[in-house]
């Protein structure tokens, strides 16, 4: 009898239960990008990039379109915050908004200047927001402007900016998480910054099949936020890599510097001879794919100073100087010149951050916290006033392991170079 009751209970459970609250895929509006702007009247304007069902199918998809249709749909709505705007947006959509696949979040510059605290709470609280998403500030623009631009190489601009960031040597799928960690650590925050770029040279189409350069999205650099999570300023594209290198987040980078070459065979010639003054304007480009940072806090009293050693390995990709790179001594000269150039550039960026932004975006306070927790207890409360005056000893040590396919140029030697 007992067995019959069990069998009957199992049978009834199979009949009476089911996926009554399920949402089929074709009933969902999948969000890939989400943007927030602040209006003059204090309201927020939310913008969503939604996947178009037909454009997501494979085959014939090219240039962000399929069959003449854009690969994405842009929708917007006003609201008092994220969730309120999302609810107002839902009344215009036949499908339920699904933010579980949201990869990128865009912040308009005006909202960033007023402070992002008011909108970031939902991103850390909602289980539908992935902490390993990307978040961007749109410099001199709005989130809606950036998200409305079609990107020719991808079906959705929300996907494009993530790939652009990756191709610039920055880590992807974690800038939102990094911002939370930084804001809860030293109090300052940093996130990538985008800009809307018109074509360098505008060319009119002469036929419908022509494809001249168009206005597009580009990576500007990084946006720095102060302790109140308000925009303090920007690091440009040629500056933001400094922070990534110091924090061990830089994946690869190409550097170009001027080599002032001299007669390297001159007796007594040394690496610094390449800095003399002959043959001005000749360049060497080095590609670095291995970066390492070693930060050491040193206490001689109550306040610390830091010794920062930045190492890298790479190879020479282009040489427009008279230096014959088949000679190891000349490669060492390039190393010396590149190290000097990078130290100078890094010091300029560090000084800019210390004096203009006054925000520890390099994680120096976190280094003290890990290595000297008892000292950090005394310094943490005043760290924002201590950081601008810190003494930072920065040394760059590049190791050039190759010169490409050839050491000596395949072109005839000119301008006093080696025979």
The reported pTM is 0.83
Tell me, what's the pLDDT at 60?
A: 40
Tens digit of each residue's pLDDT (9 = 90 or more) over 151-163: 888 877 778 888 8
Percent of residues, the chain, with pLDDT higher than 90:
43
3.40.50.2020, 3.40.710.10, 3.30.300.210, 3.40.720.10: CATH of 238-419: 3.30.300.210
pLDDT at 8 over 60: no
pLDDT at 273 over 60: no
- Please state which of the ranges 81-85, 210-214, 247-251, 360-364 shows the lowest mean pLDDT: 210-214
Tell me, what's the pLDDT at 263?
A: 37
Tens digit of each residue's pLDDT (9 = 90 or more) over 384-396: 899 999 999 999 9
Mean pLDDT for the chain overall? 83
CB 223 within 8 A of CB 165: no
pLDDT band at 89 (very low <50, low <70, confident <90, very high): very high
- Please state which of the ranges 107-121, 150-164, 337-351 shows the lowest mean pLDDT: 150-164
Tens digit of each residue's pLDDT (9 = 90 or more) over 226-262: 989 999 999 999 999 999 999 999 999 999 888 764 4
Give the residue, 408 or 139, on which the prediction is more confident. Answer: 139
- Please state which of the ranges 14-28, 108-122, 335-349 shows the lowest mean pLDDT: 14-28
Q: Which of 194-198, 263-267, 309-313 has the highest mean pLDDT?
A: 309-313
pLDDT band at 400 (very low <50, low <70, confident <90, very high): very high
Q: For residue 139, report the phi and psi dihedrals to the nearest 5 degrees.
A: -70, 130
Six-digit token string for 316 = 């020479």
Tell me, what's the pLDDT at 271?
A: 44
pLDDT at 66 over 70: no
pLDDT at 304 over 70: yes
* Angle, CA 388 vertex, CA 382 and CA 394 arms, to 5°: 125
Tell me, what's the pLDDT at 345?
A: 93
- Where would I find the H helices in 169-239? 175-183
Tell me, what's the pLDDT at 19?
A: 54
pLDDT band at 63 (very low <50, low <70, confident <90, very high): very low
pLDDT at 369 over 60: yes
Tell me, what's the pLDDT at 417?
A: 53
* Domain residue limits, the chain: 26-55+63-237, 238-419
Give the residue, 373 or 404, on which the prediction is more confident. Answer: 373
Tell me, what's the pLDDT at 97?
A: 86
56 vs 76: CA distance, rounded Å: 21
Tell me, what's the pLDDT at 178?
A: 87
pLDDT band at 265 (very low <50, low <70, confident <90, very high): very low
Burial class from Cβ neighbours inside 10 Å (0-12, 13-18, 19+) for residue 43 reads middle
Task: State how beta strands 104-108 and 304-319 pair.
Answer: unpaired
* Angle, CA 37 vertex, CA 239 and CA 352 arms, to 5°: 20
Task: State how beta strands 72-79 and 96-98 pair.
Answer: unpaired
pLDDT at 275 over 50: no
3-state SS class at 264: coil
pLDDT at 44 over 50: yes
Task: State how beta strands 134-138 and 104-108 pair.
Answer: parallel
Tell me, what's the pLDDT at 58?
A: 45
CB 243 within 8 A of CB 362: yes
pLDDT at 326 over 90: no
Q: For residue 370, report the phi and psi dihedrals to the nearest 5 degrees.
A: -75, -40
pLDDT at 196 over 60: yes
Give the residue, 237 or 128, on which the prediction is more confident. Answer: 237
221 vs 219: CA distance, rounded Å: 6
Q: Give strand pairing partners of 298.
A: 305
């Amino acid at each position: 009898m007992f067995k019959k009751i069990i069998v009957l209970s199992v049978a009834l459970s199979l009949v009476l239960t089911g996926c009554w609250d399920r949402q089929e895929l074709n009933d969902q509006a999948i969000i890939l990008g989400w943007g927030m702007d602040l209006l003059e009247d204090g309201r927020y304007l939310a913008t969503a990039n939604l996947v178009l069902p037909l454009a997501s199918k494979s085959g014939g998809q090219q240039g962000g379109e399929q069959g003449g249709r854009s690969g994405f749909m842009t929708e917007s709505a006003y609201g008092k915050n994220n969730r309120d705007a999302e609810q107002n947006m839902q009344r215009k959509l036949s499908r339920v908004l699904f933010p579980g696949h949201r990869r990128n979040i865009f912040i308009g510059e005006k909202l960033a200047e007023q402070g992002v605290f008011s909108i970031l709470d939902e991103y850390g609280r909602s289980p539908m927001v992935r902490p390993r998403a990307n978040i961007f500030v749109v410099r001199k623009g709005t989130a809606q402007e950036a998200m409305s631009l079609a990107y020719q190489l991808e079906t959705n601009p929300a996907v494009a900016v993530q790939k652009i960031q990756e191709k610039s040597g920055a880590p992807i799928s974690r800038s939102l998480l990094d911002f939370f960690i930084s804001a809860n650590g030293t109090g300052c925050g940093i996130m990538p910054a985008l800009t809307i770029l018109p074509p360098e040279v505008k060319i009119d189409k002469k036929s419908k099949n022509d494809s001249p350069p168009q206005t597009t999205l580009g990576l500007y650099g990084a946006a720095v936020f102060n302790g109140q999570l308000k925009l303090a300023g920007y690091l440009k594209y040629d500056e933001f890599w400094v922070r990534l290198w110091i924090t061990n987040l830089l994946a690869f980078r190409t550097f170009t510097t001027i080599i002032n070459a001299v007669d390297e065979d001159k007796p007594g010639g040394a690496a610094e001879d390449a800095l003399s003054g002959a043959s001005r304007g000749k360049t060497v480009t080095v590609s670095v794919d291995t970066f390492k940072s070693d930060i050491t806090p040193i206490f001689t009293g109550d306040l610390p100073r830091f010794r920062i050693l930045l190492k890298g390995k790479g190879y020479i990709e282009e040489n427009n100087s008279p230096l014959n790179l088949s000679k190891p001594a000349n490669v060492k000269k390039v190393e010396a010149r590149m190290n000097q150039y990078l130290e100078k550039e890094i010091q300029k960026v560090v000084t800019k951050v210390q004096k203009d932004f006054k925000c520890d975006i390099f994680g120096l306070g976190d280094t003290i916290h890990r290595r000297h927790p008892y000292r950090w207890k005394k310094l943490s409360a005043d760290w924002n006033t201590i950081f601008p005056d810190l003494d930072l000893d920065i040394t760059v040590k590049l190791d050039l392991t190759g010169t490409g396919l050839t050491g000596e140029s395949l072109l005839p030697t000119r301008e006093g170079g080696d025979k």
